[in-house]
Amino acid sequence: MNLIDHPELADRLAAAYGLGTLRGGARRRFEAQARRSPALRAAALAWQERFASMTELQPGEAPSPNVWKRIEIELANQPRAAAAAPPAQPWARALGWWRGAAVAGGLTTAAAIGVVVYLAGEVDQRESQLAQVNGSRETLARQNVQLAAQLQAQPAIQYVAVLSDEKSAPSILVTFDPAHNTLTLKRVGAFQEGPEKSLQLWALPPSGSPRSLGVLGAEPVIKLTAAESQVRQVPALAVSLEPKGGVPGERGPTGPVLFKGALLQTP
Amino acid sequence: MDPNLLDQHLIALIDRVAAGGGQRHSDAEAALRELYDLTSSRLYGVALRVVTNREWAEDVLQEAYLNVWRIAGNYHEALSPPLAWMGVIVRSRALDFLRRRASERADTAVELDAVISDSVAGDSPNPMDVSEASEQAWALHECLRQLEARQREVLSLAYLRDLSHGELAEQLKLPLGTVKTWIRRGIEQLRGCMARFA
């Protein structure tokens, strides 16, 4: 049924969607129609906004003064918010962070391809490409060339990812050696998590939820064990900031995604 | 403070938090502190309502303000009143917390039950607090007020704790049909009422 022809029902479903009680197949059908219909999308967003005000109506209560002290301590360890983060559509935001990761992964793909090109020895061609790209990409690509040089020292590598932060600065270099089932992560940025936190590596499959590949230790080079089936066909990897020791893998990340990038198979 | 003025002030503080890279770090931190002073009681109330345990709610609140610190630059694309924007962040962090906990411990539901069954017992007086609410929240408040208290409670728990009909029935120890009816009627009445504020 096309909901556009049934405005009453459409609004009722939009309200249930905003409340969160529209579930299962009914929810999926509603979402599919909303993606095609700006009016339905607008109704769903309006109800989400209305119900969001529920949070403004709860009786207040002063928290313990310790909370601010803990925040202050954590602030010293936090990476800065990106003042110029690319604007996202609210609807896109609602679709889940890993889609955002996939989009951002796309941005780094060009640079990551550069790594592969370099590995094939076509440095000159790479340089001429470099001249054509804009400033930020150029910087990123040059850094990638340096990273690629580090890579060459490791012959069994078949998968490569350069995980970058929100400012596109390379932060973690990931390589996978299927012969030894070893993921090697090299910290190449300045980020260091606080003592209460751990970084966790995730595979972002083309569909479905992110899957944990393991929790990173604090050392500059980290080795994790992974089977090739865990990374094959995976278009991107991401690293999130989690409570110390990481979170259970099946539920996906709970903290912010700090670094992400496309995973490429080397020729 | 007048709600509109308060909103303007909160937005200015969020902007200062967002602008504070490098040398302006201390100004950003001062702005976050003021934001915390103005909103932490309200947001702690939200966290408490979702996780029902003071210690957990404090963990959630800490996570939520650190989240605000990181994503303050995204506030303007949200088009929401500042308190609702922060409220949604607190709710998300609180739901994450519960999911994480549920995966660690099977007995979470037992602990929640005791608290929740209190909150829907009978026709309790209106527990909502509208003193600093945005216009949007005021409209929702006016419409929720016209519902029976238990309907209002079921709607507000459905949203705040992100519960399905089945989960609500289980947690509130109510027949599934009753929950579905209350939700359906509640939504119908809200639709009629909110249309007047659109």
Q: What is the ipTM metric for this complex?
A: 0.86
Region of poorest pLDDT, from A49-63, B93-107, B179-193: B93-107
Residue A86's pLDDT is what?
40
Q: What is the pLDDT of residues B37-75, one digit of tens each?
A: 999 999 999 999 999 899 999 999 999 999 999 999 999
Q: Sorting pLDDT into bands at 50, 70 and 90, what band is A118?
A: very low
Residue A146's pLDDT is what?
62
Q: Which is higher by pLDDT, A22 or B79?
A: A22
A82 contact residues in B (CB cutoff 8 A): 73
Closest by Cβ to B164, choosing from A21, A85, A248? A21
Q: Are A236 and A265 in contact (CB under 8 A)?
A: no
> Which one, of B173, B58, B45, lies nearest residue B118 by Cα?
B173
Q: Sorting pLDDT into bands at 50, 70 and 90, what band is A165?
A: confident
The proportion of chain B whose per-residue pLDDT surpasses 90, expressed as a percent, equals 63
Residue B5's pLDDT is what?
84
The answer to whether the Cβ–Cβ distance between B91 and A53 falls below 8 Å is no
Residue B126's pLDDT is what?
47
Calculate the average pLDDT of chain A: 76
Residue B54's pLDDT is what?
92
Residue B9's pLDDT is what?
94
Residue A64's pLDDT is what?
95
Closest by Cβ to B70, choosing from A21, A70, A81? A81
Q: Is A65 exposed, middle or buried (0-12, 13-18, 19+ CB in 10 A)?
A: exposed
Residue B155's pLDDT is what?
95
Residue A156's pLDDT is what?
66
B18 contact residues in A (CB cutoff 8 A): 81, 83
Residue B17's pLDDT is what?
94
Residue A170's pLDDT is what?
79
Strands annotated E in chain A: 159-164, 170-177, 182-187, 197-204, 211-216, 221-225, 236-243, 257-265
Fold designation for B124-198: Arc Repressor Mutant, subunit A (1.10.10)
Q: Is A82 exposed, middle or buried (0-12, 13-18, 19+ CB in 10 A)?
A: middle
Q: What is the pLDDT of residues B82-102, one digit of tens each?
A: 999 999 999 999 999 998 887
B81 contact residues in A (CB cutoff 8 A): 53, 56
**Which residues lie below 8 Å from residue A212, measured CB to CB, with a gap of 6+?**
A200, A201, A202, A203, A246, A247, A248, A249, A250
The residues spanned by each domain of chain A are 3-51, 96-265
Q: What is the pLDDT of residues A89-100, one digit of tens each?
A: 444 344 443 344
The answer to whether the Cβ–Cβ distance between B87 and A84 falls below 8 Å is no
The residues spanned by each domain of chain B are 1-105, 124-198
Pairwise CA distance, residues B83 & B91, whole Å: 12
Average pLDDT, integer, range A207-221: 84
> Which one, of A209, A202, A172, A212, lies nearest residue A190 by Cα?
A172
A20 by DSSP, 3-state: which? coil
Best B62, B68, B190 member to test A by mutation, with max A CBs in 10 Å, is B62
Most confident option among A152-156, B93-97, B121-125, B171-175: B93-97
Residue A260 has pLDDT above 70, yes or no: yes
Closest by Cβ to A57, choosing from B44, B133, B162? B133
Q: Measured between CA atoms, how close is B170 to chain A, in angstroms?
A: 14
Residue A144's pLDDT is what?
63
B183 contact residues in A (CB cutoff 8 A): 16, 19, 21
Question: Quick one: CA torsion of A240, A135, B77, B28, rounded to 10 degrees?
Answer: 70
Residue A97's pLDDT is what?
39
Pairwise CA distance, residues A263 & A234, whole Å: 7
Residue B127's pLDDT is what?
58
> Which one, of A140, A160, A162, A165, lies nearest residue A256 by Cα?
A165
What number does CATH give the domain B1-105? 1.10.1740.10
Rg value, chain A, Cα: 22
Residue A128's pLDDT is what?
47
